Amino acid sequence: MSIVATIMNTATGRPIQKMKFGRMPKPWASFNLDTGELVTAERVDVGKPAPGKFIAPVDVWVTVKPKD
């Protein structure tokens, strides 16, 4: 069962993209965004599922390097 997580920007608090993981990502996991930038997860938040649903929302917080 794969996990679909929303990748969130820690600086702005806005979502960057959705990403599918084979298992729950660890807070120190490194992965590439769609832009090709390598980022490291700083925090992983697991929310409560909606009433009558099984899937819980997962947010992975990362710091993106500012563009020059």
Paired sense of beta strands 3-9 and 58-62, if any: parallel
5-51 pLDDT per residue, tens: 999 999 999 999 999 999 988 989 899 999 999 999 999 999 999 99
Tokens 């947010």, residue?
A: 59
Q: Is the pLDDT of residue 65 over 90?
A: no
Question: What's the pLDDT at 68?
Answer: 62
| Rg (the chain; Cα; Å) | 12
More confident residue, 67 or 31: 31
pTM attached to this predicted model: 0.85
